[in-house]
């Protein structure tokens, strides 16, 4: 079975390509390398000993997409390609709506034209940002969010649900990721953020390697056990495995399946810093700074539906996430750049 992976050179996409190839799928990747490097694809091939057909193309380029679908004849698509920085989306909303929403529509149109009926879509826990009750289950979803990036995820989910409603042969998994962290245990692939990392753990890793002086902890006055923000961190390899399970589910069925992919555990910023210090043996200097605008106190998953229906259960804990992140960071202090 052949899977076309959009955004497959990116952080989650590259780890998912490893899991797919190891599970016996054939893989082709479309990525415009806007936020990634071809080196990641080469390393996935090196890790698995298998080939990936790679197209450096934009998903908005319909003629190119049609040529690729005609040549590859994929059985299923996993759609990662998107812009994903929350803060940037506030400054550049039109770029985000253009890439994420039009890109998803272009993909769905191409799938329709070529009769491709299986899709796994990268959604996000950001769709829960207005929800107060924890943990959040798939029904907690409210059509409210705090930023354009979040809106693109809510809109794309809805566009996909409507498309499925119109074509009962379609089978789609909407996967709502919590906070992916870590890297492949080999240290060969990992997260390679451009510029100053927005997310907590890539920033912590750069403090450990000496690239940044200290971490700013955004707020210690939240109503949480130590006052810092609580999130549900999930090892990127567990997340990748979740895609293989979701693909299995939609291969056998049709309709829309929505799953939280998280660990079900909430961990605070200071607990993550401590876990990283233990895993790396490095001290992480930090200062308490004001809250980051738009942040919420806590969000963590009720992950029981994915466990029940997919057999999905995380195997790696926060220590494993930190150990593998540090292994990647120490081996690749400049990411994929030599
Ligand atoms: P990433 O930026 O590492 O990967 C996205 C990839 O898509 C990149 O390789 C980029 O070059 C490519 N891309 C972007 N626009 C494209 C376009 N128009 N045409 C072709 N390729 C394009 O990000 P990631 O962290 O791997 O995220 C993957 C998906 O998961 C995204 O849809 C993101 O919104 C979603 N997600 C990520 C997180 C997270 O914390 N990393 C959390 C929830 C959801
Ligand atoms: N955070 C922090 N310092 C940073 C980056 C993040 O204290 O430099 C906190 C942030 O306020 C939140 C948690 O770490 O409580 C996770 O933030 P991240 O941006 O990684 O994920 P998200 O907020 O998107 O869930």
Give 149-208 pLDDT, tens digit per residue.
Answer: 999 999 999 999 999 999 999 999 999 999 999 999 999 999 999 889 999 999 999 999
Q: Which amino acids bring their CB within 6 angstroms of ligand 1? A: 6-7, 9-13, 30-36, 58-60, 80-84, 99, 103, 122, 124, 177, 179-180
Q: Is 143 a catalytic residue?
A: no
The two three-digit tokens of residue 170, written as one number: 């379609």
Cis peptide before 150 (omega within 30 of 0): no
Q: What is the pLDDT of residue 143?
A: 80
**Active site residue: 11, 55, 149, 233, which one?**
149
pLDDT exceeds 90 at position 284: yes
Alpha-carbon span 199 to 218, nearest angstrom:
11
Mutating to test ligand 2, I would choose from 219, 221, 226, 229 the residue with most ligand atoms within 8 A of its C-beta, which is: 229
Q: Is 275 in contact with 191 (CB distance < 8 Å)? A: no
Q: What is the mean pLDDT of the chain?
A: 96
Percentage of the chain lying above the pLDDT 70 cut: 100
Region of residue 282 (left: phi > 0; alpha: psi -120 to 50; beta: else): beta
pLDDT above 70 for 338:
no
Of 172, 191, 195, the C-alpha closest to 181 is 191
Answer whether 7 contacts ligand 2 (Cβ < 6 A): no
Predicted confidence at residue 202, as pLDDT, reads 97
Instruction: Decide the pairing of beta strands 118-124 and 76-79.
Output: parallel
Q: What is the pLDDT of residue 146?
A: 83
Q: Kindly give the interhelix angle for 236-252 and 11-22, rounded to the nearest 10 degrees.
A: 60
- The pLDDT tens digits for 77-114 are 999 999 999 889 999 999 999 999 999 999 999 999 99
Label residue 145 by pLDDT band (50, 70, 90). Answer: confident
Total residues found in the chain within this entry: 338
* CB 202 near ligand 2, within 6 Å: no
Q: Whose CA is nearest to atom 11 of ligand 2?
A: 218
- State the average pLDDT over residues 21-35: 98
* Cα 172 to middle of ligand 1, angstroms: 18
- What separation in Å is there between the alpha carbon of 34 and the centre of ligand 1? 9
Ligand 2, atom 15, lies closest to the CA of: 229
49 contacts: CB under 8 Å, gap ≥ 6: none
- Above 70 in pLDDT, residue 141? yes
Orientation of helix 200-208 relative to helix 269-280, angle to 10°? 40
Identify the pLDDT of residue 330: 95
CA distance 244 to 213: 39
pLDDT band of residue 123 (cuts 50, 70, 90) is very high
CB 268 within 8 A of CB 228: yes
Let me know if 114 is exposed, middle or buried by CB neighbors in 10 A (0-12, 13-18, 19+).
middle
């Amino acid at each position: 079975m052949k899977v076309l992976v959009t955004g497959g050179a990116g952080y989650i996409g590259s780890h998912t390509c490893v899991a797919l190839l190891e599970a016996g799928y054939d893989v082709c990747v479309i990525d415009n390398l806007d936020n990634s490097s071809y080196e990641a694809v080469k390393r996935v091939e090196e890790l698995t000993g298998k080939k990936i057909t790679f197209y450096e193309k934009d998903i908005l380029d319909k003629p190119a997409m049609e040529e690729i679908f005609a040549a590859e004849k994929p059985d299923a698509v996993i759609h990662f390609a998107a812009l994903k920085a929350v803060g940037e989306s506030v400054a550049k909303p039109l770029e985000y709506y253009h890439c994420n929403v039009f890109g998803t529509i272009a993909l769905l149109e191409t799938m329709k034209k070529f009769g491709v009926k299986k899709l796994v879509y990268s959604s996000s826990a950001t769709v829960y940002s207005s929800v107060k009750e924890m943990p959040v289950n798939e029904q907690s979803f409210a059509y409210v969010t705090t930023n354009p990036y979040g809106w693109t995820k809510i809109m794309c989910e809805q566009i996909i649900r409507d498309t499925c409603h119109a074509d009962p042969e379609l089978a789609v998994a909407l996967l709502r990721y919590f906070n992916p962290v870590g890297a492949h245990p080999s240290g060969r692939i990992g997260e390679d953020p451009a510029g100053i990392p927005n997310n907590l753990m890539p920033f912590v890793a750069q403090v450990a390697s000496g690239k940044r002086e200290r971490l700013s902890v955004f707020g210690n006055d939240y109503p949480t056990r130590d006052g810092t923000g609580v999130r549900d961190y999930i090892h990127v390899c567990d997340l990748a495995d979740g895609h293989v399970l979701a693909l299995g589910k939609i291969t056998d069925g049709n309709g829309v399946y929505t799953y939280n992919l998280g660990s079900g555990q909430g961990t605070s910023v200071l607990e993550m810093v401590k876990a990283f210090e233990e895993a790396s043996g490095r001290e992480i200097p930090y200062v308490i700074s004001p809250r980051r605008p738009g942040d919420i106190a806590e969000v963590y998953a009720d992950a029981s539906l994915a466990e029940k229906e997919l057999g999905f259960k995380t195997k790696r804990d926060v220590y494993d996430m930190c150990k593998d992140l540090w292994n990647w960071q120490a081996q690749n202090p400049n990411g994929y750049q030599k």
